[in-house]
Structures are given as structure tokens and as C-alpha cells.
């Protein structure tokens, strides 16, 4: 009795419509690879979208503070004050007086300066962060520039 490779790897004959185990494993492996590549791309673009939201909040907060200063001759807040986007929104900065509300997950923290004395040498610097973004942005009201910090 001769056992050839036909017994181990059956060859399709005629109109057989079944898939072999090898074919199924290859399809599953290809699908796994495509899913891994797809998920990596989705995570990258999701992180970029949160970064864009963070940058938008930097610009909007800076404009709201400048409007507040034009109306009141001071900025709102001092070092240690913060505002965090909700729900629920929280923080020691008065968002209603500022007419600004940060996006959900965005934390805005004044890291230096005092809004009541904005021209006394210690510039008001504000840090913006989001848990889904690997960098933070710091806006300096004296230079009116934004810098990046890595986490």
C-alpha cells in the first residue's frame, strides 16, 4: 500500500466546493494583517484629530482672553487656575465670564503669570493638554506664540 502526498494534502477533484484548511488559514492571516494595518492608521488619525482640536482651543482661548482684556484691562486667572472641558466642565477659571468653553477632554492650565498684573514681568503662560495627545501646547501671552512640549 502506497501512501502518497494525496492522503495528507487532498487534491480537489471535479466540482468540489469546499475550502481546504490551508486556504482558510491563509485568508484568516491576510484579514489579520489588514486589520492590524487598519487599526494602526485609525489610531494615528484619531490622535491627529485630537491634536487639531487642542490647537483650535489654544487659538480660541487666546482670542477670548484678549477680548476679556480689552473689556476689563486684565486677563482672567492666575498661575494655578485651570479649566477642563466636560461634560461636566470643571475648573477654577470662570468660563462664563471668559465666554469660552474648552472641548471635551481638553485641560487648560495657567502655569505662570497673574491676569490682574499682566505687564509685571512674569508673562502669562497657559498649557493645553488632552489625554489622547502625546504633546502639550503652551501659549505665551507676552510673545503671542504657541510652543510644543513632549510628554
CA geometry: angle 121, 145, 132, nearest 5 deg: 115
Tell if the pTM clears 0.85, that is, is over it. no
User: Strand, helix or coil at 96?
Assistant: helix
Pairing of strands 107-112, 125-129: antiparallel
Average pLDDT over every residue of 112-133: 88
Average pLDDT over every residue of 22-48: 88
Q: What percent of the chain has pLDDT over 70?
A: 89
Average pLDDT over every residue of 14-18: 67
DSSP state of 23: H
Q: What is the pLDDT of residues 44-93, one digit of tens each?
A: 888 899 999 999 999 999 999 999 999 999 999 999 999 999 888 899 99
Going from N- to C-terminal start, the domains of the chain cover: 21-150
| Segment (H or E) for 42 | helix 21-72
User: Strand, helix or coil at 115?
Assistant: coil
The residue with cell 492650565 is 109
| Segment (H or E) for 47 | helix 21-72
Amino acid at each position: 500500500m502506497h501512501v502518497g502526498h494525496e492522503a495528507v494534502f487532498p487534491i480537489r477533484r471535479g466540482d468540489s466546493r469546499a475550502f481546504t484548511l490551508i486556504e482558510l488559514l491563509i485568508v484568516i492571516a491576510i484579514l489579520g494583517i489588514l486589520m492590524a494595518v487598519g487599526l494602526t492608521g485609525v489610531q494615528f488619525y484619531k490622535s491627529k484629530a485630537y491634536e487639531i482640536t487642542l490647537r483650535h482651543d489654544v487659538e480660541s482661548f487666546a482670542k477670548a482672553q484678549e477680548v476679556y482684556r480689552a473689556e476689563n484691562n486684565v486677563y482672567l486667572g492666575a498661575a494655578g487656575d485651570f479649566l477642563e472641558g466636560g461634560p461636566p466642565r470643571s475648573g477654577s477659571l470662570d468660563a462664563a465670564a471668559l465666554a469660552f468653553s474648552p472641548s471635551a477632554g481638553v485641560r487648560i492650565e495657567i502655569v505662570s503669570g497673574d491676569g490682574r498684573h499682566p505687564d509685571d514681568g512674569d508673562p502669562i503662560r497657559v498649557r493645553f493638554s488632552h489625554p489622547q495627545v502625546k504633546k502639550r501646547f503652551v501659549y505665551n501671552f507676552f510673545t503671542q506664540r504657541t510652543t510644543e512640549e513632549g510628554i
